[in-house]
Structure 1
């Protein structure tokens, strides 16, 4: 499926979608744009970025670029790129939890109408459990789900316990890559490992499809707790090193410095989980880190422990 289908899904949710020479962009929050497709590694010119920010009156933007790029915070994509997936790709801990989960739930495709109605409770519980405040209303959640109903490439999957939706995820086939989007689980079912079962079955199903060569499980987040990605890595996914570059409007860039970042961190300390403050802090952190040479940056923990030569690639 093409990026235009994904763009249509975003447009139906009332996001502004813009196409430039290097990528597509959408306003993830007002006046701040995220590049997609998410798995694309792009290198837009300074002229392209400057024109984009000025013409669209944007505060800033974010995109993934290569480790060889001049600027950008060292980051990663959570991906699975092997041709097979099964219990042999999991560690002992994950195998045990997947087996427990499969005994306690049924993993199957569900309708987007079901996800729109029953998934809302999972959304509320997941954000609360992660210490992240709610930033959307139920009607926006419904629109997110129902916007995908008749678009090719989108699927909704659920883990059901006694007929009740316990965990869910949206998938989308972007070219030869499958995206795993908005996975969520109610805390009542975490002890029976439905999240493990859901991730395992969906990953195995997708990787067995001949037209899918990789699975994208998410960007290194601006504000999510590290436990979110640790779960993915225990499920056999790997951290693919990239740089995430944040660029602010030329007139505003001087305002984003270590002093203002410290102030935002202080506000976030007093209002933990505040969605706007959390994302602003993340954008500023990635921006400031991205200005440093590779050997001066603080690497994400998963890359510090990995056997790679990041620091030799500046």
Structure 2
């Protein structure tokens, strides 16, 4: 698994046809689900210039911009950022039950996967994880759409956990400069072997201890309504990640701001009752709820 510079990473994304704008400060912004812009890396907590954010919104025609900043009295924390920076990480630092679960996963075979092997074997873990989270998009079509070009970018990889000939879990990784983002899925039947615990231990050991990366990022707490946020928080913290309180900011395009009101939120909730497994509706209602509750501000 290689690491490339952020410029190389962005160039690879552009070769895939993705638009990655860069603002005046040199910061890159990638497209999230729904077409909104997300700052890279996600754990950058600096407060951007509000005028720069507005210029980026207008020039790129994005529906929304999202980033995280350090909380303050004016802008209190509304999310958690999960990162591990311990370059002396060792599972012996973890609680006894967690160490046991990692040792239990030793019956599994861990290895980095090629594109062909992953696409042929990864669907069951993807499908089961979506179902456990109440999502309706754990289909072969969505899986292929998400990952068929994943390996075209040299920053991206997938490490898997095998039980015999079954891929029971995997973690996707994006390694850029001295940081790496991770996220995983697992099959229902494979959970008894604690594959996620074993995979996270492998990743923290490889990137932080052996390769001396600065940060392993496990992302932000979910904005989705009806998500398993508490369970995910407990897992991430127990396997060695810090849960850092942050302020997650959403800045909508000026054309969308008249639609940010309680009536729109009520319509979204009504649609969510009809389509409870819609990932887009869950995220959309979560973002809209945040914007309705507090006045959006770029800083």
TM-score, length-normalised on structure 2?
0.86
Query: 1-side partners of 2:121 and 2:211: how far apart?
Result: 32
TM-aligned CA deviation for residue 204 of structure 1: 1.6
Match of 1:137 in 2: 142
What is the aligned partner in structure 1 of residue 112 from structure 2? 109
Question: 1:185 corresponds to which residue?
Answer: 186
* Alpha-carbon distance between aligned partners in 2 of 1:144 and 1:93, rounded to the nearest angstrom: 38
Once residues 265 and 228 of structure 1 are traced to their aligned partners in structure 2, the CA distance between those partners, rounded to angstroms, is 24
Query: What's the RMSD between the two structures over aligned residues?
Result: 2.5
Gaps of 5+ in 2: none
- In the alignment, which residue of structure 1 is the partner of 2:291? 287
Q: CA deviation at 1:245?
A: 0.3
Give the superposition deviation at 1:272.
1.1
How many residues are paired up? 288
Match of 2:238 in 1: 234
Distance change (3 Å), C-alpha of 1:145 and 1:57: closer
Q: SS at the partner of 1:279? A: helix
Conserved in 2, the CA contact under 8 Å of 1:74 and 1:290? no
Q: How does 1:50-129 map to 2 (within 5 A)?
A: 50-68=54-72, 71=75, 74-102=78-106, 104-129=107-132
Q: Is the Cα contact below 8 Å between 1:64 and 1:245 reproduced in 2?
A: yes
Structure 1 residue ranges without an equivalent (≥5):
294-314
Asked whether the equivalents of residues 249 and 296 of structure 2 are also in contact (C-alpha less than 8 Å), the reply is no
1:19 is aligned, of 8, 16, 22, to 22
> Residue 19 of structure 1 aligns to a residue in which SS?
coil
2:156 is matched with which residue?
A: 154
1:194 counterpart = 2:213: no
Name the SS for the 1:17 alignment partner: coil
Name segments (4+ residues, structure 1) moved above 6 Å.
none
Task: Provide the rounded CA distance (Å) in 1 between the counterparts of 2:210 and 2:129.
Answer: 30
SS of residue matched to 1:137:
helix
Which residue of the other structure, out of 160, 167, 182, is the alignment partner of 1:165?
167
Q: Contact (CA 8 Å) 2:82, 2:219: kept in 1 or not?
A: yes
Instruction: Verify the 8 A CA contact 2:34 2:280 in the aligned structure 1.
Output: no
Moved more, 10-19 or 202-211: 10-19
**Deviation of 1:112 (Å):** 3.0
Q: Secondary structure at the match of 2:118?
A: helix
8 Å CA contact 1:171–1:178 kept in 2: the answer is yes
Shift of 1:79: 0.9
* Preserved CA contact (<8 Å) 1:113 1:145: no
